[in-house]
Structure 1
Amino acid sequence: MALAQVAGLAVRSWGTPAPDGPVVLALHGLTSTSAVWADLAGRLDVPVVAPDLPGRGFSVAAAAGPGLAGLAREVVRSVDELGLRHVVVVGHSMGAFLAPLVVEGLGGRVVGTVLLDGGVAPEPSMLLKPLVVRGAFGVQTRRLVRDFPDADAYTAVAEGKAAANRPDLQPGFRAWAEAVLRPSAQGFRPNLDARRLVADAVDSLTRAPHLGLLVAAGAPVHLVAAAHGADDTKPAFLSGNAIAAGNRVVPHLTWERVEANHATMLFDPAAAAAVRELLSS
């Protein structure tokens, strides 16, 4: 695994992409970094490249325009600089809502898209009104973007109860935490821009999704939905009705549901299987 600056973004890579060879471009979620893709990369025999999106990790100070559109422009610039021409785009959570904009920017270089628990609009709810989302994520970021005595303390807050039923995955969650933490006067602090996180949450969850852009792209689209929400006691983020509505927007979208929650699904083999299927089609 290597980490390099590419067109202003920190980009983590597993393997070395060949100019005309297949490569996975992986887009992380709202409060994550590129480190969350280590498990996916370990399951694939093709290179994986993953940027720390602006406002996160080693790209915390990267310049970017507002909203998902601003993030997409920076991702496309990094792909341009890397010279990637045969790309499967994989996005998780916010990264899945971002993916259609990146696909549009990359044009014919994209051979398929995998959406992990996002990209499709959830069912309408009062909880998804802009002021409610802004308030809820404001509280969440205040709990998250502060000083912590050590990585375990941060992991406990960032993970919540996601891995409560999967102790085997707890080292993976801790590795994600270590990737975002930097030394501070009080111990450690996550390299996250709280203002950017809240604004991107509002843009992802309360604006009309960009899913329809994948129709024009024409490449295969596969959605992997988690059976549970933030932890195994919570309902799924994407209901059957929400997915059916997304299918009406993108008729060629295929999908499956995995027995995992919104976070632990990143350790599920389904994403790697979907990538292999797209590359073989």
Structure 2
Amino acid sequence: MPLTQVAGLAVRSWGDVAPDRPAVLALHGLTSTSAVWADLAARLPGVPVLAPDLPGRGGSVDVAVAPGLPGLAAAVVRAVDALGLRRLVVVGHSMGAFLAPLVVQQLGARAEAVVLLDGGVPPEPSALLRPLVVRALFTVQLRRLVRTWPDVERYTRAAEGGAADHRPDLHAGFRAWSEAVLAPHAGGFRPRLDVRRIVADAVDSLTRPPHLHVLRGSAAPVHLLAAARGADDGRPAFLSDAAVAAGRVVLPDLSWERVQANHATLLFEPATAAVVTRLLAR
């Protein structure tokens, strides 16, 4: 689906988005774009799905907004306001899940349900989650990724990072994500990613006080899908059972389930569409 400009953001949509129709508002992760929601949209026939390229990524790479997740949230809500949408299920993956509570807080009654995919709930404390460490790790990772690549395939392999090693059937999906973020550059391709913005958003998501508590006052049910494995199938889950338990102390009504996928392949699992369908039927 092509991108359109809405209130300054590049936005991708599937289906007929209209003010009175229930729709999904999908928020992607740190280095992703709206293209990662194609699989979810295909599993929700008849349900409009609206997904922005968040500032600093893809079609919104040059969009300047206020710092941190609050700046991203304000930009998303401006787009929703411009479209006049009044009934939304908010779905967020990774950074998008940490962003979702702030978006829901501003949407108020327009947010009818929230689905968090491997994020939103803070992971267990770790020395790797200190601000300076997160800043250094993501800076190195992004400097390796944000350069000119000779072809889409090589970028795709680098961006996958082994996430689909055991799921070759998903490689075409990962390649489609790459095609959405890459732009021709110097005889090759370069990802449209703002390194400074993404690093700052990583620090905000992973090391600042989480925003899960703002959902306490919301009437919208909140459901978490936690991946069984981390960045690839050889790594432990990003959100351990202990982390989820701590999150449920903050938000006692949080429901959740463990999905047999890793942090990236979770986006291809039918469980998300099943939860959205159930919430829409309430």
Query: Shorter-chain TM-score category?
Result: over 0.9
1:186: how far off?
Answer: 4.1
Distance 1:104 1:66 in 2: 18
Identity of aligned residues (%): 71
Which residue of structure 2 lines up, in the alignment, with residue 100 of structure 1?
Answer: 101
Query: What is the correspondence of 1:32-181 to structure 2 with a 5 Å cutoff?
Result: 32-45=32-45, 46-181=47-182
Distance 1:144 1:196 in 2: 15
Whichever residue aligns with residue 8 of structure 1, its letter is: G
Which residue of structure 1 lines up, in the alignment, with residue 28 of structure 2?
Answer: 28
Structure 1 residues 152-179: Cα deviation after superposition (integer angstroms, max 9, x where no partner): 0100110010000000000000000000
Distance 1:224 1:168 in 2: 22
1:3: how far off?
Answer: 1.8
User: Greater shift after overlay, 183-192 or 260-269?
Assistant: 183-192
Structure 1 residues 221-252: Cα deviation after superposition (integer angstroms, max 9, x where no partner): 00000000000000000000000010111111
Whichever residue aligns with residue 158 of structure 1, its letter is: A
SS for the counterpart of 2:72 is helix
| Superposition misfits of 4+ residues, deviation over 6 angstroms | none
Distance 1:75 1:58 in 2: 14
Whichever residue aligns with residue 74 of structure 1, its letter is: A
- In structure 1, stretches of 5+ residues that fail to align are none
Structure 1 residues 191-250: Cα deviation after superposition (integer angstroms, max 9, x where no partner): 000000100000000001100111111210000000000000000000000000101111
Distance 1:19 1:207 in 2: 34
1:2: how far off?
Answer: 3.7
Contact 1:31 1:56 in 2 (8 A): yes
Matched, 1:188 2:189: yes
1:121: how far off?
Answer: 0.5
Distance 1:157 1:145 in 2: 11
Whichever residue aligns with residue 6 of structure 1, its letter is: V
1:32: how far off?
Answer: 0.2
Task: Give me the TM-score of the superposition, normalised by structure 2.
Answer: 0.99
Distance 1:74 1:276 in 2: 27
Distance 1:229 1:265 in 2: 10
Distance 1:87 1:39 in 2: 19
Which residue of structure 1 lines up, in the alignment, with residue 15 of structure 2?
Answer: 15
Whichever residue aligns with residue 181 of structure 2, its letter is: V
Which residue of structure 1 lines up, in the alignment, with residue 227 of structure 2?
Answer: 226
Contact 1:68 1:98 in 2 (8 A): yes
Contact 2:164 2:265 in 1 (8 A): yes
* Cα-Cα RMSD: 0.7
Whichever residue aligns with residue 15 of structure 1, its letter is: G
SS for the counterpart of 2:212 is coil
User: Greater shift after overlay, 84-93 or 212-221?
Assistant: 212-221
Distance 2:16 2:196 in 1: 34
Contact 2:3 2:59 in 1 (8 A): no
Contact 1:2 1:14 in 2 (8 A): no
Whichever residue aligns with residue 245 of structure 2, its letter is: A
SS for the counterpart of 1:212 is helix
Distance 1:3 1:146 in 2: 23
Contact 2:120 2:210 in 1 (8 A): yes
Contact 2:149 2:189 in 1 (8 A): yes
Distance 2:245 2:270 in 1: 24
Task: Give me the TM-score of the superposition, normalised by structure 1.
Answer: 0.99
